[in-house]
Copies of this chain bind each other. A is one copy, B any other.
């Protein structure tokens, strides 16, 4: 019988592939998969610093720095020095960046709708609620780990 670990592994893998495919299909010319993650996270977290995003994505800051430079050069994000601390760079999406992300969103939600189409309303609801539970639980487990080991969730 299939373990929870296997279920999660397989689901995460497939979702990753779906994500890559969508990103590639709608804006492969403009952004790589990694860069699409960065756009997503910038939108999600307001006006984050480079470190914040890099850590959230589990990416080395140096790698992140280069990716951010690339996105800046393409006019998809803006980097401005924080007024509070001139060492930190605050990130934001440009209109073009928001557009690219919106296009990826739309592909993704389309595909996700296809996936959910084979479910009953009840199943759909259950699954969505479970995802919420799962994310909360991961966050909680992360906090515990920080208290115990001084480590953030899953990142080194």
Contact = CB atoms under 8 A, between A and B. Distances in A.
Interface of A: 2-21, 24, 37, 40, 44, 57-58, 105, 108-109, 111-112, 114-119, 123, 126-138, 140-141, 144-145, 153-156
B12 A19 contact: yes
A5 to B, nearest CB: 5
Interface residues of A: mostly helix, strand, loop or mixed?
helix
B21 A155 contact: yes
A141 B126 contact: no
5 contacts: A3-B109, A5-B112, A6-B44, A14-B154, A119-B137
A93 B5 CA distance: 19
